[in-house]
Amino acid sequence: QMQLVESGGGLVQAGGSLRLSCAASEGTIRNYAMAWFRQAPGKERTFVATISGSGRSTHYAHSLKGRFTISRDDVKKTTYLQMNSLVPEDTAVYYCAADLKSGRPEAVALSIPDMDYWGKGTLVTVSS
């Protein structure tokens, strides 16, 4: 079973950018749909973005589309989330997750029960 480890979080000024990484410790993620979720203090964990196993299809939460970009490098076994034009409301713990069961050719919004593996999260804090 693989481990997923997020990195790249930290403190950033509003308007700035960060790139988060989610590295798999072993095995392959080639056939997995990968996703990012986030959880702000006192709020539910919510869907951010998904990329299909092929890497050819992506899907974003509507409010984030245009600012965030999900990508993957299956040779490096790493999934990325590029976050631009950050605002304080983006402050949250960001989690990556893998869905082994999906054979969808297109990425779609995913829910927590869809995911088979989770990382422990990385904290992003956006200051004003």
Backbone angles phi and psi of 90, in degrees to 5: -80, -10
Give the contacts of 73 (CB within 8 A, at least 6 positions apart). 79, 80
Strand segments (E) across 1-128: 4-7, 10-13, 18-24, 33-39, 46-51, 58-60, 68-73, 78-83, 92-99, 117-118, 122-127
Paired tokens of 31? 């056939």
Q: Token digits for 84?
A: 């631009």
Percent of the chain with pLDDT over 70: 100
Do residues 87 and 66 lie in contact, with contact meaning Cβ atoms separated by under 8 Å?
Answer: no
Interacting residues of 125 by C-beta distance below 8 A, sequence separation 6+:
9, 10, 11, 12, 91
108-126 average pLDDT score: 95
pLDDT at 4 over 80: yes
Q: Where are the alpha helices (DSSP H) in 22-125?
A: none
- Judged by DSSP in three states, 124 sits in strand
Chain segment 42-70, per-residue pLDDT in tens: 999 999 999 999 999 999 999 898 999 99
**Confidence category of residue 26, pLDDT binned at 50, 70, 90:** confident
